[in-house]
Structure 1
Amino acid sequence: MNKLERLGEEVLLFDGAMGTMLQAYGMKPGQNPELLNLEKPELIKRIHTEYIEAGADIVTANTFGANSYKLYESGHSTEEVITAAVGIAKASVKDTDKLVALDIGPIGQMMKPIGLLDFEEAYDLFREQVVAGAKAGADLILIETMSDLGEMRAAVLAAKENSNLPVFATMTFSDDGNTLTGTSPEIMAMSLDALGVDALGVNCSLGPKELLPIVERVLSATNTPVMVQANAGLPITEHGVSRYSVTADDFLESAKLFAGIGVSVIGGCCGTTPLYTAKLMEARSSFRKREHKTLSRYVCSAQRAVSLDGKVTLIGERINPSGNKALKEQFMAGNPLAAVKVAFEQVQKGAEILDVNTSLPQIDEAGYMIRIIDGMSGLVDAPLQFDSTKPEVLEKALRRYSGVSIVNSVNGKQSSMDSIYPIVRKYGAFVVALCLDDEGIPDDAKGRTKVAKKLIDEAKEYGIDEGRLLIDCLVLTASAQQKAVMETLYAMRWVKSETRALTTLGLSNVSFGLPFRALINRTYFAMALTSGLDTVIINPGAEGIVDTLKAFNVLAGIDDGAVDYIAYNNQLNPLKKEEPKKEGASKSFRELLLEGDSKGILEITGTLLEKEPPLSVVDDHIVPALDEVGRLFEEKTIFLPQLIRAAETAGTAFETIRARLTAGSEKLESKGTIVMATVRGDIHDIGKNLARVLLENYGYEIIDLGKDVPAETIVEAVKSRNIKLVGLSALMTTTVTSMEETILALRKEAPDVKVFVGGAVLTESYAKSIGADYYCKDARAGVLVAAEVFGKQ
């Protein structure tokens, strides 16, 4: 029996770290590990063999960084390197029942909007790897060490669309419980479940004990087999010798805990060796098979999950140019990102999910949909519902979106179900299902329930669980079809009592043609709430809608102790309001930065420059606003995408001020000059680039030396410019030694320079042990270090 057929029934053992072993066997700093498949194939085979002899069920081909972006300067193609790597691994498992995994790591660039890498560009790079690996004979695909859900999705789609191989997918988490871009373990699990991966989980970044609570959160959110490949702790240096903090025996004890809570696949990441793999053999006896559990239903963006169970959810309907004159004008003028402002307004008024419709006959509907998705990424965390009558538009939106969304909509016509259900199934979306068919909308509840049943039955034929359908029993206008209004509610009650489907309504249609529409809407809303309504598609700012929902939640026992209702009432009651805050540019700047509103920033900057000197605008408004955004980041109220977008938006204000100063006698002085580099042997410059963006927009001049930079180059740059602060980055454990060598060279040649360091494999204690002055756990920390260093001058 193939070992993968036992997935979920017993523990499968992956091998451990390739880089750690290569380093132990003398790999020099600066060498590309993947090129050793061509240069030293016997060494790679030896390492695979050691892991197999230690008991690994699956060995990982030496292809982690074998993509065209990282191999560009090597002169070797992706296919050449992967063919060699998989061939070596296959030779090492010959005549055994062991399997070979094609290893796919991050590309090495950040995805838009934080970076420059487009989704389809990422997809194409991953597709090259998948095609080459499948052709070479890999047994499965391991996608690992991802920190961006968008990049992970591009890799998974490339794997599933270009091969028939099983797909295992793991992401890396920080000690705050989130990925670098703010994705939680639960959201990762929901999103990868939606795409149908065969195993999912976590790897790298932390030791096994630190990963345990994250793994428990993953297990709570999925029935898919869960995989863990922890580091052997973190690097520590004692008496000039570096080692990892977790021994093989300690690693085993944690592995037993993982197996005991139902983890199905266990291996090792940085710092682990065949000794660790041999110890993992003992963890098999601790395995406890997980029981299949009923999971709550959620939709999610990359940063926020919204439950569809146990409460009523407002879906904002205002991102629709057909029903929003101002938005239509913006769309016609070529500005679909005006929708971002509408999104913020709806969220502030209580919408938890946002319906996005770009249907206008004169525009590129799919193109506008993609631009809105990209524009909201990192700014608006509410999950999205994609609203279109065109399957091709819906597919492009679902493909691009990082999260689990809702499709609006499918109906009971066979042609509709045949075109929409395959898309819904492929991307794991929820879908609004309309109770109409070739005969139109049935007059009574019986007719509508018949269509609802057909929608549910057909969904099952496509492999879609009925629990992912939001049945819309369709309310007609009370002014024209008064008797039919109650039939909608009767049909809704049947759906709730006889099926596991959810319910929804596009409610505002009921009042069309009547006076005092708000009164009709909120009254019918209350009636629908008592009939089993789960979600409502409406303008959340419409009079009485949020009020009615808050009151219903108290009466229905959803708002325990009326806590939410009382807080909402206090907010509305003018006698209990706090003193209004003074309207100031600093507050306005902060709001505009968080919304990524470059146009608004330019307008307010221009207004302030008419009243205040340029340098006062910087010191009294821009920098305080950036500091406030930084505080929100440190509190985990916002995440890295929002922080970077805010900094980039502030940059537009700085450019305006620089232009004004150039025309006058003043000059916007740099706060200080900083040299930044990724150390020799390391070609990952993601962290450095993020820190650079923030520092530049705080007014520091950055000399970016790039990646894979020798120590002597950094020293020369520091000495030639009399630099006071240097920032060094290293992502890989194999290049931390280069960082230490660089710091030693700086201490010798420029003893007064201060050094701050960052990277996934570093800790504060380790940074100190290699001679760094400051450890930066994230990009924001670099700003605080710079302020301290240059503030002392």
Structure 2
Amino acid sequence: MLLERLGKELLIFDGAMGTQLQVAGLKGGDIPEELNITNPELIQDIHVAYLNAGADFISTNTFGCNPLKMEESKYKYTHMIKAAVENAKIAQQKANRVSDSYIALDIGPIGQLLEPAGTLTFDEAYTLVKQQVEVVKDEVDVVLLETMSDLYEVKAAILAVKENSDLPVFVTMTFEQNRRSLTGTNPETFVNVVEGLGVDALGVNCSLGPEELKPIIEELLATASVPVMIQPNAGLPTLESGETVYHLQADEFSNYLIDVLNDGVAIVGGCCGTTPAFIEELKKLNVTNVKQRSVESLTKVSSHTQTVTITNKVVVCGERLNPTGKKKLKKALLEEHYDEVLVEAIAQEQAGADILDVNVGVPGIDEVAVMTKVIKMIQEVINLPLQIDSSSADAIEQACRYYNGKPLINSVNGKEEVMRSIFPIVKKYGGTVIGLTLDNEIPLTAEERVDIAKRIIETAKEYGIDKKDIIIDCLTLTASAQQKEVKETLKAVEMVNAMGVSTVLGVSNVSFGLPNRALLNRTFLTLAMNAGLNLPIINPLDNELMGTIDAFNVINYIDIDSEHYINKQSNQSKEQKVTATKTDFTLSEIIKKGLKEEVVEVCKKELETKEPLTVVNEIIIPALNIVGEEYEKGIIFLPQLIQSAETTKKAFEVVQSCFETDKSQQKGPIVLATVEGDIHDIGKNIVKVVLESYGYQVIDLGKNVPVQTVVDAYKEHQPKAIGLSALMTTTVLSMKKTIEALKEEGNVCPILVGGAVLTADIASDIGADYYCKDAMETVQTLNSILK
């Protein structure tokens, strides 16, 4: 019934649970989920109020009810989840809405960042969600994964739901005003990845008010083919009398949402600060039918931070992470010297590749384990989407599972058994797949290759794979052995392109065995692009090949005003042809790229000729400052910032060993704490890592820290500054009490505050000396005030 209505009738979710519980007396530090057992009538009454206001969905009071967060509760998480669902069912009966309303199992973020930005593994995140779903999978109508900020956690959660139940999945992320999530995901990438994973609806919640969320929801509507949902906050909050107050009225809230409802939003509700009155106003809008949207069908692949569209343009896939014919790379893989792989990946990214092919197929290697490890390591340091290249279905599946994004899978062919083994993987993990136009042998004519392409496309359709998620490889044959058939390849590209399907070719195969291979490669590439080639697999460090693509884009009016061509080609040396792979990164470059395994030896080499303070002041700090500037500008994102910070910490450890017992070189100490009643410490942990990377000594008091503990730490350590974090609206008052207690000590050090619920105005209202919106601003503030 739900899936029949979804996307056709406008469906309404409930509003905030926390706001209602605060009104009822919930204190900072209380565990809301315990009320499912200790005060079930209160939870039932809130559900009833939302149902009576017109909500079609009620969300169970289980937002933080995962085993990790509930370690400190006096009740088992399973008991609280069961009680929450029972309360929702009773509420349906009380409101006489059993037959026409739905219960959503509400699952919020785990509360810890996943690797590499944090310490939680993908499998641990998967298990935590699986444990919640298995408790009541036969008793709810849908699973709502909400307020998510990490795409990797989203992927783990979706797989956990789909592999352990038959429930529909709705997922909403939070985005900041820069249209990025905490870990750097933009709306288009979010859509591309989670649609591929088979969610039933997607959208945005929390973060901001309806007015501020409008640009984000418009982007979701423009790219998503599944129903889109929105649950904004009741505007932006302020602090009044120690309480967080949302000023947007219910009618204003609904009026702000009229436009996005008219644009095709299928599900609407409220988040922080909203009440049953807000839901009642949404119901009064009397919007019943969902506007049907038309979304362009495009071939796309994604990393966790960016999406590359392959349709209707030339996109470069870097070929150099393939050990075939590369003795150095083969040796590095066999000896597990993976930094060689990372250096090669970085070099290709810097050279302008859009996608990187990753192949670890070396005889005698455990390909499944190595492929998985290499994929994880590469996505820690670069933002490009990856092409998972293997003839092993097991290696492809494992790589797809741990890949943070929508992968490009290389490949299938026309053999029935190959399609049977690969297409289920493509479907499950939402990848885009390359189809090779061969079966038992390589066909010689274009028509034969196109016939195989059609067979691949039709078979893929049986597995639920759309042709937009297929790229056809028409096979580049060598001109030295099959000269006549080279033209057939170009003809096949043109024919497949006319079918509305993207194409890929390994360009350099054409010149094998002939002199001046570069000349043949770039000529063939030009002809292939003119025939409609979308994805050449080439060496991006070959400036002549890359320049050929730049020129093609100018001539075909793809590079408007020749902007890219001018910027790139004006800096190219006329004599430069092919750039060698750069394997000798400087200490500065290693810090910028976060190469943790290389930093120690390179730092030691620098110290052989430079004084320790020179290394710190002239290399390490300037490099980290550049990283900080790129983070502020949105060039890199949180995972890369953390990698650079961790790398810098290793460098500092080497340098500090030269100072022996001289403590005067250390900065700080700085005391950090998440305030009493708040069990979230993601933000604090990020700040700690970044501060330590700048040489600060950090004393971390942890989360849910009592006021007196912070005061005692101040007396004991006499820090240069104190940083306080709060993520929950209910704990802002606790932060205020902590600041007041510290200032009673007289002439206390500067107090810095931060957290998702805080603003500069709130920070000022509660008596903080400085508000820092993120880790880098914390560093800048400390550097300024402690000079």
The normalised TM-score by structure 1 is 0.95
Asked if the contact 1:15/1:60 (under 8 Å) is kept, the reply is yes
Displacement of 1:543:
5.8
Residue range with higher mean Cα deviation, 35-44 or 598-607 = 598-607
Show CA shifts across 1:380-423 (max 9, x none).
11100100111111111111112112110000000011111111
Matched, 1:467 2:463: no
Asked if the contact 2:133/2:165 (under 8 Å) is kept, the reply is yes
Asked if the contact 1:676/1:688 (under 8 Å) is kept, the reply is yes
Displacement of 1:319:
0.7
Counterpart code for 1:105: G
Alignment match, 1:545:
545
Show CA shifts across 1:466-510 (max 9, x none).
22211111122111111111111122211112x121111112111
> 1:286, 1:771 → 2: CA distance?
48
> 2:243, 2:531 → 1: CA distance?
69
> 1:108, 1:8 → 2: CA distance?
31
Asked if the contact 2:649/2:693 (under 8 Å) is kept, the reply is yes
Residue range with higher mean Cα deviation, 74-83 or 355-364 = 74-83
Alignment of 1:75-224 (within 5 A): 75-94=74-93, 95-96=96-97, 97-135=100-138, 137-224=139-226
Alignment match, 1:455:
456
Show CA shifts across 1:586-615 (max 9, x none).
x94442112212344323322331222212
Counterpart code for 2:321: I
Alignment match, 1:766:
762
Q: Give the direction of change, closer, same or farther, for the CA distance of 1:17–1:407 in structure 2 (3 Å limit).
A: same
Matched, 1:42 2:44: no
Q: Give the direction of change, closer, same or farther, for the CA distance of 1:729–1:239 in structure 2 (3 Å limit).
A: closer
Alignment of 1:530-569 (within 5 A): 530-542=530-542, 544-569=544-569
Per the alignment, in what secondary structure is the counterpart of residue 182 of structure 1?
coil
Per the alignment, in what secondary structure is the counterpart of residue 370 of structure 2?
helix
Asked if the contact 2:372/2:395 (under 8 Å) is kept, the reply is no
Asked if the contact 1:234/1:763 (under 8 Å) is kept, the reply is no
Asked if the contact 1:234/1:761 (under 8 Å) is kept, the reply is no
Matched, 1:689 2:688: no
Displacement of 1:194:
0.9
The normalised TM-score by structure 2 is 0.96
Matched, 1:25 2:24: yes
Alignment match, 1:579:
none
Per the alignment, in what secondary structure is the counterpart of residue 658 of structure 1?
helix
Query: Number of matched residues?
Result: 776
Residue range with higher mean Cα deviation, 408-417 or 773-782 = 773-782
Match of 1:617 among 593, 615, 620: 615
Alignment match, 1:790:
786
Per the alignment, in what secondary structure is the counterpart of residue 431 of structure 1?
strand
Q: Give the direction of change, closer, same or farther, for the CA distance of 1:332–1:275 in structure 2 (3 Å limit).
A: same
Per the alignment, in what secondary structure is the counterpart of residue 285 of structure 1?
coil
Alignment match, 2:434:
432
Residue range with higher mean Cα deviation, 596-605 or 526-535 = 596-605
Counterpart code for 1:392: D
Asked if the contact 1:231/1:272 (under 8 Å) is kept, the reply is yes
Asked if the contact 2:302/2:405 (under 8 Å) is kept, the reply is yes
Asked if the contact 1:658/1:667 (under 8 Å) is kept, the reply is no
Show CA shifts across 1:31-87 (max 9, x none).
111122122212111211111122111000011111111112325333222111111
Q: Give the direction of change, closer, same or farther, for the CA distance of 1:542–1:232 in structure 2 (3 Å limit).
A: same
Alignment of 1:366-515 (within 5 A): 366-438=368-440, 440-497=441-498, 499-515=499-515
> 2:266, 2:718 → 1: CA distance?
55
> 1:240, 1:353 → 2: CA distance?
50
Match of 2:674 among 673, 678, 681: 678
Alignment match, 1:781:
777
> 2:263, 2:495 → 1: CA distance?
39
Per the alignment, in what secondary structure is the counterpart of residue 536 of structure 2?
strand
Per the alignment, in what secondary structure is the counterpart of residue 227 of structure 1?
strand
Show CA shifts across 1:230-288 (max 9, x none).
11123213455542132222212112232122111111111111121212212343865
Show CA shifts across 1:549-604 (max 9, x none).
1122222222233232232321114699xxxxxxxx9x944421122123443233
Alignment match, 2:737:
741
Structure 2, gaps ≥5 residues long: 577-583
Asked if the contact 1:259/1:287 (under 8 Å) is kept, the reply is no
Show CA shifts across 1:354-389 (max 9, x none).
010111222221222222222123421110010011
> 1:720, 1:728 → 2: CA distance?
17
Counterpart code for 2:106: D
Asked if the contact 2:149/2:173 (under 8 Å) is kept, the reply is yes
Alignment of 1:704-743 (within 5 A): 704-743=700-739
> 2:746, 2:87 → 1: CA distance?
46
Asked if the contact 1:316/1:538 (under 8 Å) is kept, the reply is yes
Displacement of 1:139:
0.7
Structure 1, gaps ≥5 residues long: 577-584
> 1:271, 1:649 → 2: CA distance?
41
Counterpart code for 2:229: M
> 1:240, 1:455 → 2: CA distance?
63
Alignment match, 2:10:
11
Q: Give the direction of change, closer, same or farther, for the CA distance of 1:38–1:323 in structure 2 (3 Å limit).
A: farther
Displacement of 1:774:
1.2
> 2:314, 2:575 → 1: CA distance?
29
Per the alignment, in what secondary structure is the counterpart of residue 665 of structure 2?
coil
Counterpart code for 1:254: Y
Match of 2:695 among 696, 699, 712: 699
Match of 1:338 among 315, 337, 340: 340
Matched, 1:657 2:655: yes
Per the alignment, in what secondary structure is the counterpart of residue 505 of structure 1?
strand
Displacement of 1:529:
1.4
> 1:423, 1:558 → 2: CA distance?
34
Displacement of 1:619:
2.0
Alignment match, 2:521:
521
> 1:226, 1:273 → 2: CA distance?
22
Counterpart code for 2:497: K
Counterpart code for 1:114: A
Per the alignment, in what secondary structure is the counterpart of residue 367 of structure 1?
helix
Per the alignment, in what secondary structure is the counterpart of residue 544 of structure 1?
helix
Asked if the contact 2:222/2:295 (under 8 Å) is kept, the reply is no
Asked if the contact 2:242/2:733 (under 8 Å) is kept, the reply is no
Alignment match, 2:58:
59
Runs of 4+ with deviation above 6 angstroms: none
Asked if the contact 2:477/2:510 (under 8 Å) is kept, the reply is yes
Show CA shifts across 1:651-692 (max 9, x none).
111111122222xx7446321111111111111100000000
> 1:237, 1:23 → 2: CA distance?
15
> 1:241, 1:358 → 2: CA distance?
56
Per the alignment, in what secondary structure is the counterpart of residue 291 of structure 1?
coil
Displacement of 1:155:
0.5
Displacement of 1:301:
0.6
Q: Give the direction of change, closer, same or farther, for the CA distance of 1:237–1:596 in structure 2 (3 Å limit).
A: closer
Displacement of 1:514:
1.3
Alignment match, 1:329:
331
> 2:746, 2:192 → 1: CA distance?
50
Counterpart code for 2:570: N
